[in-house]
Structure formats: structure tokens, C-alpha cells
Amino acid sequence: MTAVAIEVADLAYSYPDGTEALRGVSLTVAAGEAVGLVGPNGAGKSTLVWLLAGFIAPTRGRASIQGREVCKANLADVRRRLGVIFQNPDDQLFMPTLFDDVAFGLLNLGRNSGEIEQRVTEALQQIGLESERDRFAGHLSAGQKRLAALAAVLAVGPEVLVLDEPTSDLDPRARRRFIGQMAARPETRLIASHDLEMILDLCPRVALLDRGLVVADGSAIEILASSSLIEPHGLEVPYSLRRDHKHRFPLRGTAHETEHRKWET
């Protein structure tokens, strides 16, 4: 039986002004699975990310990471298992240098200086920012800040990754690098994004969220190729799935390639 990495049951959340951001979301992500979370602005994607990280508490329902309920009593344990990149990387970068930002989580875990040096160096090399290690993160570009937040998460080595708009602000080369890195990673991944081509490259499954509810959950190819399903929810069929272009622009050797061939026939 496959272990469950992320479980959300009837999760609801209302903001102090009464706005219902989530109205009863249920979602299960298996260990090692990559799931895309898609939907229009205001659908509740970022709110769900904040709830999973334990920064806000639900008004109803529950969420758990690897069987540990996300609640005040379990937060330290949950956050050792969960790595989160928020939509605004400035929420995660606040130390004097980029090296210090990436090392922050390791220091909190009590790692020794030698391990911290090694892990931070490796993480910065992976995302191509090793030359910026002594800079103040506030002086980095928006795309570099997003990569820096990713490095801070990867350095800790969580088993579950929850990423909110991870390719926003990235130039094409950095975006390709990010996709290549994520495709090779073994961690469970829940990726919230409007970048549907990236979702297709990384996530065999998507959950479509709108107005605080999951309105579809299943094959990424089948859901994102259906204009009648996604257009009422503020999305458009990705270019690579449009029938008039699919033969000239097939998917690029991803986990979806076999499924895409079946969809074409």
C-alpha cells in the first residue's frame, strides 16, 4: 500500500473579513507523487499552501503531512518533513547574506558548521547562484530571489515539497534548469502554478481548484486538454496540447510522453 504524503480532508478557511478562501477541499498525494495545483487567481491555491505550512489554521477540516496533523503541537515535526516555497520569495529571505538565508533552516535543525557549508554550497550550485553567496538577497533580481528560496528549501532536504508559483519571474534558461532539477527529484511534490506547460512537464496529475473547491482531479493531459472543462475556470489549454499544434510541438521527453501519444490516437 502506497504511503500518503499529503492528506487534506474537508479543509475550509475564511479570512477575517468573512471571505471564504477554501470551502471544503479534500486532496490526497501519495509519497513520491508529483501533483499540479491549478486554477484562476483567487481560487485558494496560496491559502492551501499556507495552511499546509501551518502559518494559518483552518476553520474546518484537517491537513496532515506524512501522517502528522498540521497543528500547533506538531509544527516542528511537520516543518522538518515539509519544504515550502511561497509565492513571494521575500517572505523567506531576511538574513544578511544569501549564504545565511540558505543556512537558516539547517542552523535551526542543529547541523554542524561543516555540514552546513557543504549543503549550502551544493544547493547554491544546483540553482546557479554560488557566485552570489555573499550578497544580500534583497539586492537580487526577482527571479534570483525565487531560486534562492528554492535553495534554502533544498538544503534542508525535506521529503515533501510544496511550491507556489515556482517559475514566476524566471528567465527561460533558469526555468528550464528548474524543470530539469524538479523532474529528477524523488520527493513528493505539490506544485501550484499558472505555468501549465511546466505543470505538464512535471506532474502526471492535476487538481483544478476554483472558488475554494476542487472541481476536477485526475490526469494532467486529460484535464488540461479539455477546453470545456478548464476555460470556465479561467484557464486555457496549453499550447503543446492544442490539436492544431500537437504534431509540430510534442511534449519534450517528460513523464507524460507515453500518455500524450495515447491521447493523440
Per-10-residue mean pLDDT, the chain, length 265: 88 93 97 97 95 94 95 90 87 87 85 89 87 87 86 89 92 89 91 96 97 96 96 95 58 47 45
Instruction: Say what the pLDDT of residue 203 is.
Output: 97
Domain 4-86+158-264 has CATH 3.40.640.10: no
- Please say whether the beta carbons of 191 and 166 come within 8 A: yes
- Please say whether the beta carbons of 215 and 208 come within 8 A: yes
Instruction: Say what the pLDDT of residue 242 is.
Output: 86
Reported as half-sphere exposure (CB side, CA atoms, 13 A), residue 85 has a value of 26
Would you call 249 helix, strand, or coil by DSSP? coil
**H helix runs in the chain, sequence order:** 45-53, 75-81, 98-108, 113-127, 142-156, 172-183, 196-202, 220-224, 227-230, 257-264
**Chain length of the chain:** 265
Instruction: Say what the pLDDT of residue 23 is.
Output: 96
Instruction: Say what the pLDDT of residue 225 is.
Output: 96
Distant-in-sequence contacts of 254-260, Cβ < 8 A, 24+ apart: 254/183, 254/200, 254/201, 254/202, 255/34, 255/183, 255/202, 255/204, 256/200, 256/201, 256/204, 256/220, 256/221, 259/204, 259/219, 259/221, 260/221
How far are the Cα atoms of 91, 109, 158, 161 from residue 81, in angstroms, in the given order? Answer: 20, 12, 5, 9
- CA proximity to 189, closest of 255, 136, 129: 255
pTM: 0.86
Instruction: Say what the pLDDT of residue 143 is.
Output: 84
